[in-house]
Structures are given as structure tokens and as C-alpha cells.
Amino acid sequence: MMNIRRICAIVRASALFVLIVPASVGAQDMLKMCIDCHGEDGLGIDSDLPFIPIIAGLNVAVQEDALFAYADGARNCASTPMMCKLVSRLTEDQIVEYAAHFSALPYKAAGEEFDAALAETGQKIHKGSCAKCHGADDPSEADNSIGAGRLHGQRKNYLRFTLEEYAAGERDQLPAMEKVTTPLSADDIEALVNYYASYRD
């Protein structure tokens, strides 16, 4: 589960977002606001906000599904109010357009530090439970036909946060995914996070 330090970070980031998103913002400015957090390159690596994922090069269907989930409340808005506030202002056409925009950008691994021993343990968990859908050793191997996201090289804070939500049943997921994520312990999650962080382009 999330610790107090991370909860405070989310609250601070959310409060900042509320302050910088005036009610009068126009539709033409919405992509700019996506870029403010995720970067023009969609890598989000220079962002000071926690839990900003790499969205460049992600399957367009995965991105559309995520945006629609934020828009209709299917994805937990209590932990990510900044996304819900922004996406709620998007039209369906804008969601499709922005998903296509970031999907067309080249994916690049975050290249963050990792614990080698944990990564080795995480690789075993991945191969036993995750590789079939998310790819054995490379993000490009993720099964786009079922909307599997890219995990290799994704940012650690985002992965940890997301896996914790899945394991706790706080994020909608397919039954096949639920069978894998629900049994994950905190140690399992940390091992997986370090394994995916170990990927280099």
C-alpha cells in the first residue's frame, strides 16, 4: 500500500494542478496541458510530479482506454484527481486524437537506477505471470491485440503505484489480469518494479 510520504506527494501535486487549471481554459490548450506533465516527447522524465508515466509509443488502444476510464470515473480519481480533472474536459474526438499523437512518438526507457538482486527476482515473477501478454524481454513484445501496456523501461514510481492499485483491487482490470495482480505482495511488486526498471533500449 502507499505510504504517507507518497500520499502527501500526490496531494501536493493535485493541489498544484487545481491552481494552474482555470475553469476558462479552452479546448485548444488541452494538448499543451498534457505536454506540461508528459513532455513534448511523451516521456515525462523531466516532470517534477510523481507517478507520471511514459506514454510515448504506447499502443493507441491502451491510451484511449485509459483516458476514457479517467473520463467516465472507471479509474480511481481519488488518487489521480489531476488526470480526471483534465480528461473530463476532453471530447471523445480529442481523446482519440491525443492518444494517437502520443502513440506515434518513439518509446524510450526511463533508464532509472535499480536493485540487481530485486530485478533478478522480478524477472522470474514476470516470466511466470506477465510475459505472455506484456512481452518476454522487450516492451515492443507487448500484445497489442489485447491492449497490453509496455512495462519494460516504464518509470518506477508509476509502475509501483499502478501495481499497488491493481493488487488492492482499486483499479478496474480484466479477470486474467486480476488473477495475476491480486496475489502480489509488496515484495513481489518491488521486485517487478526493479526488473522493469532494469531494461535499457
Closest C-alpha to 59, from 129, 151, 189: 151
Asked if the structure places residue 58 within a domain, the reply is yes
How does pLDDT run across 40-90, given as a tens digit for each residue?
999 987 777 767 899 999 999 999 999 998 888 778 766 667 788 889 889
Q: Are residues 13 and 97 in the same domain?
A: yes
Percent of the chain at pLDDT above 70?
A: 83
Q: What three-state secondary structure class fits 115?
A: coil
25 has pLDDT over 70: no
d(CA 18, CA 41): 24
- Quick one: 130 and 89 in the same domain? no
What mean pLDDT, rounded, does the chain reach? 84
Q: In the chain, pLDDT over 90 holds for what percent of residues?
A: 55
Residue 91 and residue 7: Cα distance in Å, rounded? 30
CATH of the domain at 168: 1.10.760.10
pLDDT tens for 121-161 read 999 999 999 999 999 998 889 988 888 889 999 999 999 98
Banded pLDDT at 23 (limits 50, 70, 90):
very low
How does residue 170 score in pLDDT terms, banded at 50, 70 and 90? confident
Helix axes 92-103, 60-72, angle to 10 degrees: 140
Domains in the chain, number: 2
Q: Which of 65, 82, 103 is the last residue of a domain?
A: 103
Report pLDDT for 172: 82
What pLDDT does 80 receive? 67
Residues 17 and 62 grouped into a single domain: yes
> Is 155 a member of any domain?
yes
State residue 187's pLDDT score.
98
Is the same domain home to 123 and 89?
no
User: Is the pLDDT at 16 greater than 60, yes or no?
Assistant: no
Domain of residue 24 covers 4-103
Domain assignment of residue 111, yes or no: no
- Indicate the residue among 71, 103, 135 that finishes a domain: 103
CA distance 102 to 13: 22
Do 53 and 123 lie in a common domain? no
